[in-house]
Structure 1
Amino acid sequence: MTSPAITVITGGVGGAKFVEGLYHSVNPQSLCVIPNIGDDDQFHGLWVSPDVDTLVYTLSEHVNRDTGWGMAGDTFATQEQLALLGQEVWMNLGDKDLATHIVRTLRLHRGESPSDVAAHLARSLGLECQLMLPTDSTLQTRVHTEQGELSLEEYFVKHRCAPQVTQVRYRGAENAQITVAAEAAIREADCVFFAPSNPLLSIAPTLEVNRVRQTLHSTTAKRIAISPLVGGKAVKGPTCEVMRACGFEANVFGIAEFYRGLIDTLVIDQKDAEHAHALRKLGLEVVVLVTLMDDKPSRIAFAAQVLSSLDLAPALEAVS
Structure 2
Amino acid sequence: MKVQANGIPVEVEDTAGGPDDAARPVVLLIMGLGMQLVAWPPALVQALVDAGYRVVRFDNRDVGLSAKFDHLGVPNLLWESLKHRIGFPVRAPYDLKAMAADALGVLDALKIQRAHVVGVSMGGMIAQRLALAAPERVLSLTSIMSSSGARDLPGPKSQVLQALLRRPRDHTEQAIADHYVSLFKVIGSPGFPLDEAELRERILRGVRRSFHPAGTARQIAAVAADTDRADELDRINLPTLVVHGLSDPLVPFACGQDTARRIRGAKLVPVPGMGHDLPPGVVDRILAPLLPHLREAQAR
Q: Considering only CA atoms, is the larger Rg found in Structure 1 or Structure 2?
A: 1
Q: Normalising by structure 2, what TM-score?
A: 0.44
The TM-score, its normalising length taken from structure 1, stands at 0.42
